[in-house]
Amino acid sequence: MARMKLFMAISGFATLLGIVVVLGVVGYRVSRGEGSAAAAEQTVVLPKGAKVIGTAVAGDRLVVTVETAGGLEVRTFDAGTLRPAGRMRFATEP
């Protein structure tokens, strides 16, 4: 009977240790995570006469479609910081 009590105590301790480890990992990831993003504000200057046709979110990027005198242009920005990530221009052949 004493041996059975010892095995039960060891098993209970191992279970408790496992729960503490899991809760510790979850707590670490929550505290280390990026959390809520701070509000970002940025003014993007467009060419004269240009207008925004559409916007979309693709993963961690903000995609803005702009119509300019030279054709269509797609600009991408990082969604968290609003820094420009790329630009693609579409023009017709002369």
Distance of alpha carbon 75 from alpha carbon 85, whole angstroms: 8
Q: Considering only CA atoms, which of 70, 71, 64 is closest in space to residue 45? A: 64
Half-sphere exposure of 62 (CA within 13 A, CB side): 14
Domain extents in the chain: 1-33, 51-90
Q: Where are the alpha helices (DSSP H) in 33-76?
A: none
Q: Are the beta carbons of 11 and 3 closer than 8 angstroms?
A: no
| Tens-binned pLDDT, residue by residue, of the chain (94 aa) | 999 999 999 999 999 999 999 999 998 888 876 655 566 677 888 888 899 999 999 888 999 999 988 889 999 998 878 888 999 998 777 7
